[in-house]
Structure 1
Amino acid sequence: MSYAKVIVKGSPISKSNFKLFNMNGRAILPYNSGKYHDRYALYEEEIAYECRVQNPGIVLSEALIAVLKVFYKSKKRHPDTNNITKSIFDGVEKSGLIVNDAQVRRLIIEEFYDEKNPRFELELFGESTYKMNYSIEKRDIKDETIEYNPPSNSKTKNPNQLKKVTSPKSVSKEVLCCEICQRSVSKENAISANKGKTILCKKCFKKLF
């Protein structure tokens, strides 16, 4: 057998949203904490169960081509599609349908929306029997543009005010940048003007008077 398909109902979730950390800072995924974080572990078990029920006795051990179709309930609120692949294949591997998720050498992901029936549909094809062809073609008539906004928890900043610098310990941090001399300036030595939109170092500020 070189083909398998599994459909799991419900909105797909991302593993990264359900991590907790122990006292040593190591990421863990609890099963029975009695909290919201248990949801991922239960989802992984559900995927494993559906794989076994829908593909009894099938084990795919060769290199695979995977086609993943994700149907979200909402267009506005859903995890990043690129992040949920790990969640899904962890459950598939746990089921025994595949030996290791490293078998997936080619992957196509498509995003759709179905308010009444959110789900994901995964098809697995053995490379010894199947091959993949794909093409990208320009539309004859331009379709509606789907625009994306920055995440709600990100703060839009003037790119001229901030620089990314790396300390000797390779720790990335943000520092202010003087609007006039373009030199980096610490927060203690910076002067804010124009309602915070303009940053000046004290030296350049004195030159203005």
Structure 2
Amino acid sequence: MYDNYAKVIVKGSPITKSNFKLFNVNGRAILPMNSGKYHDRYAIYEEEIAFNARSQNPSKVLDEALIAVLKVYYKSEKRHPDTNNITKSIFDGIEKSGLIINDAQIRRLIIEEFYDKENPRFELELFGESSFSMDYSIKPREILEEKITYNPPSNKKKALNDRMNISAIKPKISDNICEVCGKGTCKENLISANKGKTLICRTCFKKLF
């Protein structure tokens, strides 16, 4: 086995702390463990990651640039954190374990999302770039799979629909330009002349008389 390779498996539903930070008087982000609030859950999870990383890779320290392959297994397909936010929680815990020096060592990262109702977890593999390289390809499927579609969150769905409805009825100002002042305006503010070939805004029309 290579000295610059490590694998960490942490059981349980992966969680993120990105929205649960508190700040001390110096403005530094902290995660208290005894505040009596949900913040505790995230601080404890970070400690759990650190414990597993160290116990599964005793006496190992990776101090070079790394390639990371992260596989996240959620319990539910419908309700789970944003996978992109999971990485911060995980790598902070890995760094705390001493397995790596700094999460800035992760120069290449592949994240894959899966679902396992019976055994939610994450599996992280770390490869030292001095011994490993990364190669990947994306190619068309020979047999198409069922499409996985996503809907906007309920709190954003109404706003999205409102914007779409407004854009559908909003007149195109760029098509309604006054021939005199050259400014765009809504169609209701224009008067046609020269058998409809010329458009003049009401302000310029008044100035003509």
TM normalised by structure 1 equals 0.74
* Identity across matched positions, percent: 73
Does residue 1:84 correspond to 2:86, yes or no? yes
Does residue 1:39 correspond to 2:41, yes or no? yes
**2:31 matched to which residue of 1?**
29
Query: CA, structure 1 residues 65+158, in 2 after alignment: closer, same or farther (shift >3 Å)?
Result: same
- 1:158 pairs with one of 159, 163, 178: 163
Which whole-Å deviations, capped at 9, do the CAs of 1:123-150 have from their partners, x for residues lacking one?
A: 0000011111100010011111000000
- 1:106 pairs with one of 105, 108, 121: 108
Q: Where do 1:170-185 residues align within 5 Å?
A: 179-180=170-171
Does residue 1:10 correspond to 2:12, yes or no? yes
Does residue 1:121 correspond to 2:126, yes or no? no
Q: Distance in 2 between matches of 1:181 and 1:140?
A: 44
- 2:64 pairs with one of 62, 65, 70: 62
TM normalised by structure 2 equals 0.74
Query: CA, structure 1 residues 25+131, in 2 after alignment: closer, same or farther (shift >3 Å)?
Result: closer
Of Structure 1 and Structure 2, which has the larger fraction of its residues in helix? 2
Of Structure 1 and Structure 2, which has the larger fraction of its residues in strand? 1
Residues 18, 39 of structure 1: 8 Å contact kept: no
Residues 71, 120 of structure 1: 8 Å contact kept: yes
Query: CA, structure 1 residues 135+41, in 2 after alignment: closer, same or farther (shift >3 Å)?
Result: same
Shift of 1:31: 1.6
Query: CA, structure 1 residues 34+85, in 2 after alignment: closer, same or farther (shift >3 Å)?
Result: same
Query: CA, structure 1 residues 4+147, in 2 after alignment: closer, same or farther (shift >3 Å)?
Result: same
**Structure 2: gaps (5+ residues):** 174-185, 190-201, 203-209
